[in-house]
Amino acid sequence: MHLNSVPFFLVLISGIFCQYDYNPDDYGYERYVPSPSLCAPECDCPINYPTAMYCDNLKLKSFPIVPSGIKYLYIRNNMIEGIEENAFENVTDLQWLILDNNHLENSKIKGKVFAKLKNLKKLHINYNNLTEVVGPLPKTLDELQLSHNKITKVSPNVLEGLMNLTVIHLQNNQLKGDVLSGAFRGLNSLLYLDLSFNQITKLPTGLPRSLLMLYFDNNLISNVPDEFFQGFKVLQYLRLSHNKLEDSGIPGNVFNISSLVELDLSFNNLKSIPTVSENLENFYLQVNKINKFPLSSFCKVVGPATYSKITHLRLDGNNLTRADLPHEMYNCLRVATEISLE
């Protein structure tokens, strides 16, 4: 009896130590632990994650009372339509506000409710009923996720001055035509911008040169202005698949971007292969109308150290067969492990 209880006791002890291993506040001197009675009664404030409050899947129609000291607030999968101006009056420490899957509408989000959150880093309002980008937003913001809404516009100044913003998700909205020009200007920390699954017809001007990943797939873009990507020195992933790109809309060197690792131009109307940088590794061109394979699109010159770094090249769903591939191809495409034609 006594011996049997020893292993159980050890498990209990290690469980207690584990709590502290996962505490995000262990870096500093903070040891704020709100008493459980301070948690909103319908929500969950885990003892091993004391600055987080979870109010997911509760069919809530209005905001719960948020006690002071909460930094990470999750209110996902509820039926909240609006946010009162004072909703966060006691939670100025809030860093993450996660509101995915609610019924939030712009007109019911009152006053400057987000701008008052002077420590806010992540704001997620994916899968809601927004028709425009919420704002004003605090300058501390790092990540803004507003995918799967009904957003038709991004007001010109709503993102202005958000110097620390690194991630924007606006995929699956109703952005149409040329509504974004200048909207992202000056966001000098931006690394990731997802505008896929909209009805955008023009690439917006003023995109930050800091971008690493730029996703415009599933839109209505027919051309890329000459020198559009000039100055993008760190861009690695560019997706323009499922658009209306044609040869006439693609000036000679527009995709010859030396930092690019992956370029997706699949499901367009291209007849020829655009020129790309020798550094490109993954090139997706499936389902276009390509009927020739000039090596000059990949290698201007070929030498011991000058060759294309492409490993994966997809050309299936075009008008090309093995016979169209030039014999000297492997001098240029010498590291290609996969070239798919059908």
Ligand X SMILES: *[C@@H]1O[C@H](CO)[C@@H](O)[C@H](O)[C@H]1NC(C)=O
Token representation of residue 268: 């367009």
Q: Is 277 a binder of ligand X (CB under 6 A)?
A: yes
Residue 110 vs 300, nearer CB to ligand X? 300
Residues 15-44 vs ligand X: string with x where CB under 6 A? ------------------------------
Contacting residues for 217 by C-beta, under 8 A, at least 6 apart = 196, 197, 239, 240, 241, 242, 243, 264
Each residue 256-275 as x (binds ligand X by CB under 6 A) or -, in order, gives x------------------x
- For residues 202 and 312, which CB has a smaller minimum distance to ligand X in the complex? 312
Kindly identify the residues of this chain, within the stretch 63-92, that bind ligand X according to CB under 6 A: 65-66, 86-87, 89-90
Closest CA to 297 of 283, 318, 312, 317: 283
State the pairing for strand pair 52-54/72-74. parallel
How far apart (Å, rounded) are the C-alpha atoms in residues 100 and 132?
16
Rounded distance, CA 265 to CA 273, Å? 10
Examine residue 129 and tell whether it contacts ligand X (CB under 6 A).
Answer: yes
In the bound complex, what is the minimum distance in angstroms from residue 252's beta carbon to ligand X? 8
Among 25, 30, 33, 103, binds ligand X (CB under 6 A): 103
**Eight-state DSSP code of residue 297:** G
Q: Tell me which of 62, 92, 155, 319 binds ligand X, using CB under 6 A.
A: 319
- Judged by CB, which is closer to ligand X: 11, or 301? 301
Token pair listed for 184: 């992202």
Nearest CB to ligand X, comparing residues 33 and 302: 302
Q: Figure out which of the listed residues 108, 112, 233, 300 binds ligand X, where binding follows CB under 6 A.
A: 300
CB of 253 to ligand X, least distance (A): 6
- Least distance in angstroms from the C-beta of 323 to ligand X: 9
Q: Which is nearer to ligand X, 214 or 290 (CB)?
A: 290
Residue 306 as a binder of ligand X (CB under 6 A): the answer is no
Residue whose CB is less far from ligand X, 15 or 24? 24
Of 48 and 157, the one with the shorter C-beta distance to ligand X is: 157
Q: How many residues bind ligand X (CB under 6 A)?
A: 21
DSSP 105-160: -GGGB-TTTTTT-TT--EEE--SS--SB------TT--EEE--SS---B--TTTTT
How far apart CA 32 and CA 214 sit, in angstroms, is 40
Contact 125, 105 (CB under 8 A): no
CA distances from 263 to 9, 124, 246, 266 (A): 56, 28, 16, 9
- Shortest Å, Cβ 190 to ligand X: 13
Q: How far apart are CA 122 and CA 124, in angstroms?
A: 6
Binding ligand X (rule: CB under 6 A), the pick from 76, 139, 153, 244 is 139
The residues that touch ligand X, with contacts defined as CB under 6 A, are: 65-66, 86-87, 89-90, 103, 105, 129, 139-140, 164, 253, 256, 275, 277, 289, 291, 299-300, 319
